[in-house]
Structure 1
Amino acid sequence: MRVVKITLLSLAALVLLGLAALAVALFQAHQKYQPLTDTFHHAGGNSISLTDGRISYQWHGPEEGEVVVLVHGFSTPKFVWQNTVPDLVSAGYRVLTYDHFGRGHSDRPEQTYNRDFYVRELKELLDGLGLQQPLKLVGYSMGGANITSFAASYPERAKQLVLLAPAGFLQPYTGLFKQLAKPVIGEQLLTLAGPDRFVDALQTAVDNGLISADTPQQFATQFRVQGTPYALNSTLHNYPFYDLKDDYHQVGQSQIPFTVIWGDQDKICPIDGAIAMQQQVQQMQLKTLTGARHDFTFTQASRVNPLILEALQRL
């Protein structure tokens, strides 16, 4: 009996030590996150105040050009388009890029980051910039789902949709993503992990000569802003990455021109989703890039950009 008591006490002591170590690690991790200052806002270009906070945005190209709005995905902010913007500008387009709330140089409001939140974000940004006319919208990953939801809600404001490896028909979370999507727990895991997993992937792309050398540092800097783990966790928990069928159906009913560009080696948003998507959007035109993964927007821009331009110049 004494041995059992000692063993239980030892186990309890180990648990307490483990919890203490975790608490210390979390405290140290939180110290690495910095408040979002005016200086940081200004470093991202222009900003505009919306209902939920300030959004960072940039204009590129001739003022008289037709407007194309580029909407980034879940984690990598507007600099993900840095290899795409020059080709669109060369083609004469006026290009708008912006950082989602919770990313880049935009505010990190403590809101519920769900479907309606991102629709409101885009609508208010366009309203604030005086863009009331139908627009050509290009969205990558979650951004593809964002512009689809926006067009479903405001079909009169979408002239054309071009989606790159879009979300909306993913399988339910498993493994690590399932844990990251849990409230509180997921936020703490993201805080502990920081940008390391993302930066490692970006560094590989740098080493292969696919993106500029400063990209990993750009990403790490914006990730270390207070509120970023919360925003990512709230998005994972509340955004319907795997169930936007109704929005895609609405867009299908509206007959808005709809092009999808997808890599056949995408493991994040598998191209299998194109089958279900086609059932909802009959006018969908699918362009497949052989051997391309989910990061093809910025690592294989020379292959992706001609397809984006081909779609945009179709009307």
Structure 2
Amino acid sequence: MIWFLSAVLCLGALLFLPALQETLRRPLTESMRRNAPGGFAELSQGQTHYRWIGPLRGPVVVCVHGITTPSESFLPLAQELAEMGYRVLLYDLYGRGYSDYVPGLQDRAFLLQQLDDLLAYEGIVEDFILVGHSAGGAIATAFAAANIWRVRSLILVTTVGLHKPRTPMAEFRKHAHGIQDLILRWSYPIVARRYVKGVFSDPRTPDAVRQAQQAQLSRRGYMPSNLAAIRGILRDDFAEEQKLFNRQGLPVLAIWARDDVIIPPQTSGRLAELNRSAKQEVVEDAGHEVVYTHAEDVARLIAENQRRGL
């Protein structure tokens, strides 16, 4: 009987602890939004925070961030590109930064709807450079495949979607279902905090990015949004999309980091097999978060490849 009661209590904790933790986190408020840079667009799924960086008449670059860090992670790169004459659009995915938390699965249809809505809202029809970092690379890849005529070139920075999970825990998170999904809801916040703590420990992380990431951990809707993406777009493989780009001639530049502990080094080889026309570059002494720890290097690679006719 004691063992039975213990099992019931453990199951109850697994069921209700994530919901309790989520209730205790701070919701996004209008007072927080009043101090946010940029503007807000009321889109079909909810309110989206966005901002422009750079001159009014420069070539347009649209940036899609990953699932753990808001659009602030792209600010160092946006500033570098702005100095080169580019006009850069940043926006927060739903549940991150200052955008609304929208319940439900964050699969490619959901995430592409937000991006398509925002581009329409801002009057961006075609001929723009699309940049995606980490999970944002998967979103950017999916969008480019569905709108290949609109995108001038696709830039993927330490992108996911072309590799298998490296560890048993990553595989568990990727394919969780049933009781596994229940455990994932309980364990993911611990894993996410550990990862963010590692980001904070890198002295090359800008203070603004560190503060924005810290704010996410205590924000209501952030953890469920990440889980919704893990169950959604992060389960997809983007091999067919890369084959499509090769056939259709869409210019693709992939930027990798030599010390990336998330993306295996053989991923660049798989991309080369799928898309022979894709150009690939590697940033030395950089990890997965190269987009803001080495923003100058990434901006230089983007600009150089654009000048070469990417």
TM-score if structure 1 supplies the norm length?
0.86
Which residue does the alignment assign to 2:86? 93
Mean Cα displacement is larger for which, 217-226 or 65-74? 217-226
Shift of residue 198 of structure 1? 3.4
SS class of match (1:111): coil
Checking the alignment, whether the CA contact within 8 Å between 1:194 and 1:224 is kept in structure 2 is no
Q: Distance in 2 between matches of 1:46 and 1:92?
A: 22
Shift of residue 169 of structure 1? 1.2
Shift of residue 53 of structure 1? 1.0
Q: Distance in 1 between matches of 2:153 and 2:29?
A: 36
> What does residue range 269-308 of structure 1 map to in structure 2 within 5 Å?
269-308=263-302
Amino acid aligned to 1:283: S
> What does residue range 10-21 of structure 1 map to in structure 2 within 5 Å?
10-16=2-8, 18=10
Which residue does the alignment assign to 2:28? 36
Checking the alignment, whether the CA contact within 8 Å between 2:65 and 2:71 is kept in structure 1 is yes
Alignment CA distance shift 1:223-1:44 (3 Å): farther
Structure 1 counterpart of 2:254, from 251, 260, 266: 260
SS class of match (2:207): coil
Q: Distance in 2 between matches of 1:282 and 1:301?
A: 26
Which residue does the alignment assign to 2:238? 244
1:234 correspondence with 2:228: yes
Amino acid aligned to 1:211: T
Alignment CA distance shift 1:86-1:273 (3 Å): same
Structure 1, residues 182-235: CA drift from partner, whole Å, max 9, x if none?
3444233334x3852233112211xx2x12334333212123222222211111
Alignment CA distance shift 1:23-1:148 (3 Å): closer
Q: Which runs of 5+ in 2 are unaligned?
A: none
Structure 2 counterpart of 1:198, from 183, 189, 195: 195
How well do the aligned residues superpose, as a CA RMSD in angstroms?
Answer: 2.4
Checking the alignment, whether the CA contact within 8 Å between 2:58 and 2:86 is kept in structure 1 is yes
Checking the alignment, whether the CA contact within 8 Å between 2:69 and 2:96 is kept in structure 1 is yes
| Max Rg structure | 1
Q: Distance in 2 between matches of 1:115 and 1:174?
A: 24
- How many residues align? The count is 303
Q: Which runs of 5+ in 1 are unaligned?
A: 1-8
Which residue does the alignment assign to 2:168? 175
Alignment CA distance shift 1:243-1:131 (3 Å): same
Which residue does the alignment assign to 1:311? 305
Mean Cα displacement is larger for which, 223-232 or 63-72? 223-232
